[in-house]
Amino acid sequence: MRALLAQSFGNYEVLVLDNGSTDSSPEIVRSFKDERVRYLRQENLGLCRSLNRGIQEAAAPLIARNDQDDISLPHRFERQLSVLRGRPESVALFTHYTKFGTRRNWSNADKQAGEDGSVVEIDPVKDGCLLGSTMLARTETLRAVGGFRQETYPCDDWDLEMRLAQAGKVLLLRESLVAYRFHSGAHTYGLFAVMQDKARWVKDSYERRLRGDPEETLEQFLESRGLTRLERLHERRVDLARLHLRIAGLHYLEGRDLAALYHALVSGLFEPDNLLHRVRRLLQRKP
């Protein structure tokens, strides 16, 4: 909250979406005596439905998302606004980010190429899911595409990104403007297998929309794939490699180097090409 209220661009409101919290969140929010803060509390309806309420409640023509555990740098809004103002054909702008834990931070240099302040149009399939907490999008476009879809959670960010890209240009600013918190309590780890199946589903849905074909439900998609046992095992091997690499990153940020090395090696055993590719990109990155 403090980071949002300290933005160098000051003409905005902060919509705090309380999705049925049971802790001291209401008291914490009300302790900020700032007229720009608007507190919206509701029963727990799921993340996507809560975000959609924010989209409907917003009064501004642009919406910036910031999850509760991520931190926007003080010039984030000003910088993103300066980029979008000259690009009326663009419907959304994402940025690079830095990961951080309790002991270290990480620039994600093995994945984010070209930290040079340039602006590029993204391909949502090739570039993958961008961090939701870096999004600045046009309110009318978010409403027109229907906002977030709860059934795609926890791949709702990527699903929305794809639908935005079909509505107009989606841009990426190659500059880190958000600090993304890594912690063991994140839902990602417990839902990782579900996340991989849903990621394949939302990608298939995107490709179907491009062809003009109707989307399938998740159940229809999983049933229609017709994978052999060997193909399914290969798919799970790749999924496990990605999970272990993510856990390795968490341990690194928490300062547990031996655990980080162990999970990185396990990831390499499951999918050596991906690990070598990430290391190669890191070594080729200009300092």
The answer on 155 and 208 residing in a single domain is: no
How do 105-106 and 119-121 pair as beta strands?
unpaired
In terms of residue numbers, what domain contains 256? Answer: 188-284
> Crossing angle of helices 257-270/229-253, nearest 10°?
160
Above pLDDT 70, what percent of the chain? 95
What is d(CA 36, CA 38) in angstroms, rounded to the nearest whole number? 7
The answer on 156 and 36 residing in a single domain is: yes
The enclosing domain of 17 has a CATH number of 3.90.550.10
Report residue 269 as tokens: 């055993």
Last residue within a domain, chosen from 130, 162, 181:
181
The answer on 206 and 263 residing in a single domain is: yes
What is d(CA 205, CA 218) in angstroms, rounded to the nearest whole number? 10
Q: What number is the average pLDDT over the span 72-87? A: 96
Please, which pLDDT band fits residue 275 given cuts at 50, 70 and 90? confident
The answer on 78 and 130 residing in a single domain is: yes
The closest of 102, 105, 109, 158 to 131, measured between CA atoms, is: 158
Q: What is the pLDDT of residue 24?
A: 86
Last residue within a domain, chosen from 162, 181, 200:
181
The answer on 206 and 82 residing in a single domain is: no
Phi, psi of 136, rounded to the nearest 5 degrees:
-125, 115
The answer on 42 and 144 residing in a single domain is: yes
Note the pLDDT tens digit of each residue in 99-146. Answer: 999 999 988 766 777 788 999 999 999 999 999 999 999 999 999 999
Note the pLDDT tens digit of each residue in 18-43. Answer: 988 888 888 888 899 889 999 998 88
What burial class does residue 186 get, using C-beta atoms within 10 Å of its C-beta: 0-12 exposed, 13-18 middle, 19+ buried? middle
Question: In 3-state terms, the chain is what percent helix, strand and coil (to 5)?
Answer: 50, 15, 35
Q: What number is the average pLDDT over the span 40-68? A: 93
Hunting for tokens 């000051």 — which residue is that? 10
Which helix (DSSP H) or strand (DSSP E) does residue 247 occupy?
Answer: helix 229-253
Count of structural domains within the chain: 2
The answer on 161 and 206 residing in a single domain is: no
Last residue within a domain, chosen from 132, 161, 181:
181
The answer on 13 and 36 residing in a single domain is: yes
pTM metric for this prediction = 0.91
Please, which pLDDT band fits residue 189 given cuts at 50, 70 and 90? low
Note the pLDDT tens digit of each residue in 141-160. Answer: 999 999 999 999 999 999 99
Q: What number is the average pLDDT over the span 222-236? A: 93
The answer on 130 and 212 residing in a single domain is: no
For 80-140, the three-class secondary structure string (H helix, E strand, C coil) is: HHHHHHCCCCEEEEEEEEEEECCCCEECCCCCCCCCCCCEEECCCCCCCCCCHHHCEEEHH
The answer on 277 and 219 residing in a single domain is: yes
The answer on 265 and 200 residing in a single domain is: yes
Residue ranges of the alpha helices (H) in 121-216?
A: 139-144, 156-167, 187-190, 192-211
> Crossing angle of helices 192-211/229-253, nearest 10°?
120
Q: What is the pLDDT of residue 220?
A: 97
Is pLDDT above 70 for 286? no
The answer on 211 and 171 residing in a single domain is: no
